[in-house]
Amino acid sequence: MDLPSLPIALAALAIGYLFGSIPFGLLLTKAAGLGDVRSIGSGNIGATNVLRTGRKDIAAATLLLDALKATAAVLLLSALSPEAGALAGFGAFIGHIFPVWLKFKGGKGVATFLGCLFGFAWPAGLAFMAIWLATAYLSKYSSLSALVASALSPVILWLMGLPAHALLLAVMAAILWGKHKENIARLRAGTEGKIGQKG
């Protein structure tokens, strides 16, 4: 892997960060007259918390846009080089989790992680979705599904012959797991809410 020059690398990271820092969950819920999504549930701006407003359409739009902003960043900077595209994806992931506009309190990064995957190699993105769905079907835990899929995704990229992208994605997966530490604690305690569970 030939690393881009420092100016291009920094530009890719910065552009990716700006893409990723767009808080679609917050913007969409406010536009729909649902108030500030940070004041309900987990206080997160991601699709899972947006779903707690009762608006499945807004949650789905949040999920899609949070993924696409990362895919767009990757594809845009990939015009310079695959490596610049990869760095842009990483920047988008970090921007979503730590957006400067929201005092660095963003989402947990699952949708943006998936968006990066589709930008890196779309078959890997489909594999993530398949793993997520299979785990969700067997366990009924959304968080566990995301954790399993994210952990296996770097392996998939490695097997596809993209070792540099796999290494970068492994770093992203570690950050994603860190953002899910409370979910992991609840999973271990048996108190994590299941998909479709109310209350």
At 97-150, the pLDDT tens digits run: 999 999 999 999 999 999 999 999 999 999 999 999 999 999 999 999 999 999
**Secondary structure class of 147 (helix, strand, coil):** helix
Mean pLDDT, residues 6-31:
94
Question: What does the radius of gyration of the chain's CA atoms come to, in whole angstroms?
Answer: 16
**CA separation, residue 50 to residues 1, 15, 37, 45, 54 (Å):** 39, 26, 6, 7, 8
Domain membership of residue 41 (yes or no) is: yes
Name the one residue in this structure whose structure tokens are 């910065």: 14
Residue 197, pLDDT score: 64
Q: Is 198 within the bounds of a domain?
A: no
* Any domain includes 199: no
**Parent domain of 43:** 6-189
pLDDT, mean of residues 33-46: 85
CA dist 194 and 101 (Å) reads 32
The verdict on residue 180 lying in a domain is yes
List Cβ neighbours of 134 (8 Å cut-off, separation of 6 or more). Answer: none
Query: Residue 35 — very low, low, confident or very high, per pLDDT cuts 50/70/90?
Result: confident
Q: Is 87 in contact with 77 (CB distance < 8 Å)?
A: yes
φ, ψ for residue 40 (rounded to 5)?
A: -125, 165
The reported pLDDT for the residue numbered 2 is: 66
String of DSSP letters for 72-134: HHHHHHTTT-HHHHHHHHHHHHHHHHS-GGGTT----SHHHHHHHHHHH-HHHHHHHHHHHHH
Q: Is the pTM of this model over 0.85?
A: yes
Higher-pLDDT residue of 73 and 1 is 73
Neighbours of 100 (CB within 10 A): 11
90 lies in some domain:
yes
199: DSSP letter: -
Let me know if residue 66 belongs to a domain: yes
Give the CA dihedral 72, 102, 41, 145, nearest 10 degrees.
40
State mean pLDDT over 148-154: 98
**Rounded Cα gap, residues 94 and 92, in angstroms:** 5
| HSE, side-chain direction, 13 A CA sphere, residue 118 | 17
Structurally, the chain folds into a number of domains equal to 1
pLDDT one-digit tens code per residue, 46-99:
888 888 888 899 999 999 999 999 999 999 999 999 999 999 999 999 999 999
**Is residue 59 in a domain?**
yes
Q: What is the pLDDT of residue 199?
A: 44
Q: Is residue 24 part of a domain?
A: yes
1 — pLDDT class (breaks 50, 70, 90): low
